[in-house]
Structure formats: C-alpha cells, structure tokens
Amino acid sequence: MTIEKTDTLVIGAGQAGVAMSEHLSKLDVPHLVLERNRIAERWRTERWDSLVCNGPAWHDRFPGLEFKDADPDAFIPKDQVAAYFEAYAKKFNAPIRTGVEVKKVVRNVGRPGFTIETSEGTIEANRVVAATGPFQRPIIPPVAPKDDRLTQIHSAQYRNPGQLPEGAVLVVGAGSSGVQIADELQRAGKKVYLSVGAHDRPPRAYRNRDFCWWLGVLGEWDAAAMKPGTEHVTIAVSGARGGHTVDFRGLAHQGITLVGMTKSFDDGVASFQPDLAENIARGDANYLSLLDAADAYIERNGLDLPEEPEARKKLPDPDCLTNPLLSLDLAAAGVTSIVWATGFAVDYSWLQVNAFDEKGKPKHQRGVSSEPGVYFVGLPWLSRRGSTFIWGVWHDAKYIADHIATQRKYFAYRDAAHRASTSA
C-alpha cells in the first residue's frame, strides 16, 4: 500500500489553517490542509445565530481581501465571515481537503517526520502545524449544579432565545459572549441574571475611532504577554446592533440583574461572590485608562479628532450594583436555565509528540514548538495579544511559514562531496 506524503501537513481549516496555507503557498512549500468539517466550520455552526464580528470589517480581515459589498465600519455577520474564508482559500487555490479528521500524529522512529492517522488513511509529513483553534473544548466549571430541572448549555451551544425553556436565565460569564447573549435574551423578553467577573471593557469607539484602531496605534494588540494578574480578565465588547460599548450599568437599567462571580449551588440556591462592585469598578478603570491613553496620543500627535467629553459620563449605579444579590433561590426566581459563557480549553490528545509541558500546555516560542517539526498557530498569546484574532493569526502564520521554509533549506543542504558525486 502506498502512503500519501506531503512536506507540511496543516490540521484545521479555520482562519489559522487558511492563513498558514497562503503563506506556505507563497514560499512554495508543498503542503496539505486537512479539515474534519468545512472551511471555517466554527463560524458556521459553533456560534449563535445573530453573532457578528466584534471588530469592524476594515480590521477583522486578512490583508489580501476586503469583505465584498460591506461598509468598512460595519460588523460582519458570522455566515459572511465563513464565506469570506472560503472565498479567500479559493483565491489562491489552497490545497484544503475537507471532511477528513486527524486522529493521531506520532513522530517517526529512526527517520525524520511524522505519521498521521486520519479518518481516510495514513499520511506522512516532514512537519505538522496544529491549527485546530484556540477555543476547542467548552469549559463548564465544576460548580455547575446537577439538577435535572435546569437546562444548562455552554455559550458554544447557544443559538437563539427560542432554544431555552420558558422562565428566567442565569448567564454565567460576562466576556463578549456572555454580555451579548444576556442582552439578546433580555431583549427577547426573558428575565436575565448576569454573573460578572473581572473584565476589560474598552469603549466601542472614542473620538471617531473604533477601539480596534486605538489598540492598534497604542501598540496594545502587539503586547507580547498578559500583564501579571490579568490571566482571568476577559474582554467585553460587542459588534451587535451596529456596535456599542458594553456598559454594565446600561444592561442593568435595561432590566438585567447583575450579580458577582458564581461561587456555588446548594439545594437549588446559587451563591455569588461579593465582588460585583469591584469587578465593575475595575472594568470602569480599564475603560477610562483607554480614553486617557487615546487623549494623550491625540495630543502628542496633534491629531484633529473631535473631543468627546460625554464618553466619561457614567449612568447612575443600579440597585443590583449597590445592593448586590449574594444568593438566589433559582426556583423561587423562576430560573429554568443556565448559559455558561465560561470559556474554552484546547484538546491536543491526538498530537502525541513532545510539545507539551506537564500540565498539557503547548510548549512553543511564537508557535515553533519544543518538538522540532511541530508548530502551533492560532493560540491565545501565541506571539502577542492579537494572536487569536483574524488579522493577528495571519501575521503569526507568516512567521511560522518562514520558519518552515528555512528548515527546508537546512534539509536541502548537500555537502561538497555529495554535490560532486551527484554532478559527476
């Protein structure tokens, strides 16, 4: 039986896999991309129906293609994002094979390269790039109650309000997913409790520039590492309804009851940490610090951007903030469902190589792993803060493709004796 061979095998055809393929193609690196479903599958079927990009069209894209017929300041709906990556892959004829799952990757013994078991047979490759996504396995924390009366789903399974039973909802987690889902549920007529932890909440726009622009010019997308102590700080932004600043006081005045971090569930009663005011205050401080940095940037560079003093005005504190609930009897409050917007983990059980630390975390530098020939792309903070975002992954993929091309040159090297014998 002949075994299919390629130089570089890319696993996953989301934005990371498509970007990888573009850069490898430009460098003439023979490669193949295997995708178990369809191109950009997560944008198609693993996100809620109304999701639009959190960044504007001019920003959340690859350099080589604009969104067709879209206002550059618009927030593109998720299905169009999937179509964009499909069109992008077509543009350079990316060698993507869909419907093929990679089951196992092992290093060859006594010879270079890797053997890859897939749902359609075995492949050998000199290198592998894991582009299987930053958000692979939904995490529901162990505090989740075991209570058959409650419908519990992760944000990755949430589609629309109609999916949930009648009754109130507790949304746990107030990053971009949690706030957007809570807002949608409340607007659909549901009573919503929103459990809020530590978060950053940049203004949607300030002085005529979107926050994506501000983070760009202020160098924040390029930050190489998280600031110490911010490992559990999420970012709350929204492109929904034309894009707006996430304002927790506004959500409360709209009718959502804010509560602190979810602590436990005992006998149908949820308990919350007494940290709501502190979490909101820290989010406010983060918001104001961006306004200050933007003002200083404008002044330093003499930019002509309109002042916006009203951006510093706060809505009055709602009652749920001044007198926070520390416990909630779910049945008495009519809560019939919980949406866990509590993030994701990675799953590399199929990648059986020496590229992980004792906790199973990928060991790498800018995606070049500790196992020669194995690469990661698309992971949070792979090289910078922007690494999981559409534009950021494109730049990381470029670096990795360049590393691969350099390695190929080492392998192509022939010593003088060998050169003489082959030219004779």
Ligand X SMILES: Cc1cc2nc3c(=O)[nH]c(=O)nc-3n(C[C@H](O)[C@H](O)[C@H](O)COP(=O)(O)OP(=O)(O)OC[C@H]3O[C@@H](n4cnc5c(N)ncnc54)[C@H](O)[C@@H]3O)c2cc1C
Binding site for ligand X (CB under 6 A): 11-17, 34-37, 41-43, 47, 53-55, 60, 101-102, 131-135, 177, 350, 378, 388-390, 393
3-state helix, strand, coil in the chain (%, to 5): 30, 25, 45
Residue number, 50 or 271, with CB nearest to ligand X: 50
**Tokens standing for residue 230:** 């911010």
Amino acid (1-letter code) at residue 32 = L
Residue number, 11 or 298, with CB nearest to ligand X: 11
Compute, in degrees rounded to 10, the torsion defined by CA atoms 186, 190, 194, 199: -20
In the complex, minimum distance from the CB of residue 119 to ligand X, in angstroms, rounded to a whole number: 8
Residue number, 235 or 305, with CB nearest to ligand X: 235
In the complex, minimum distance from the CB of residue 380 to ligand X, in angstroms, rounded to a whole number: 9
Cβ neighbours for 303, distance < 8 A, ≥ 6 positions apart: 297
Residue number, 54 or 80, with CB nearest to ligand X: 54
Distance of CA 289 to the CA centre of its chain: 24
Residue number, 297 or 348, with CB nearest to ligand X: 348
Q: Kindly report the backbone phi and psi dihedral angles of residue 337, in degrees, each rounded to the nearest multiple of 5, phi listed first.
A: -145, 155
d(CA 35, CA 203): 36
In the complex, minimum distance from the CB of residue 255 to ligand X, in angstroms, rounded to a whole number: 23
d(CA 33, CA 10): 5
- Beta partners for residue 40, in sequence order: none
In the complex, minimum distance from the CB of residue 158 to ligand X, in angstroms, rounded to a whole number: 10
Radius of gyration (C-alpha) of the chain in whole angstroms = 24
3-class secondary-structure state, position 272: strand
Q: Which of 239, 202, 244, 205 is nearest to 80 (CA)?
A: 239
d(CA 366, CA 55): 24
In the complex, minimum distance from the CB of residue 318 to ligand X, in angstroms, rounded to a whole number: 26
Task: Give CA separation, 85 vs 13, 80, 371, in Å.
Answer: 9, 9, 30
Residue number, 22 or 60, with CB nearest to ligand X: 60
In the complex, minimum distance from the CB of residue 374 to ligand X, in angstroms, rounded to a whole number: 14
Residue number, 20 or 259, with CB nearest to ligand X: 20
**Tokens standing for residue 294:** 């933007």
In the complex, minimum distance from the CB of residue 146 to ligand X, in angstroms, rounded to a whole number: 26
Amino acid (1-letter code) at residue 244 = H
In the complex, minimum distance from the CB of residue 39 to ligand X, in angstroms, rounded to a whole number: 7
In the complex, minimum distance from the CB of residue 144 to ligand X, in angstroms, rounded to a whole number: 19
In the complex, minimum distance from the CB of residue 209 to ligand X, in angstroms, rounded to a whole number: 18
3-class secondary-structure state, position 64: coil
**Tokens standing for residue 27:** 């460098």
d(CA 171, CA 193): 6
**Tokens standing for residue 378:** 């698309």
Q: Kindly report the backbone phi and psi dihedral angles of residue 103, in degrees, each rounded to the nearest multiple of 5, phi listed first.
A: -100, -35
Residue number, 45 or 327, with CB nearest to ligand X: 45
Residue number, 39 or 320, with CB nearest to ligand X: 39
Residue number, 12 or 173, with CB nearest to ligand X: 12
In the complex, minimum distance from the CB of residue 82 to ligand X, in angstroms, rounded to a whole number: 9
Which residue shows structure tokens 């020939």? 373
Amino acid (1-letter code) at residue 131 = A
Residue number, 298 or 351, with CB nearest to ligand X: 351
- Beta partners for residue 335, in sequence order: 168
- Beta partners for residue 116, in sequence order: 105, 123
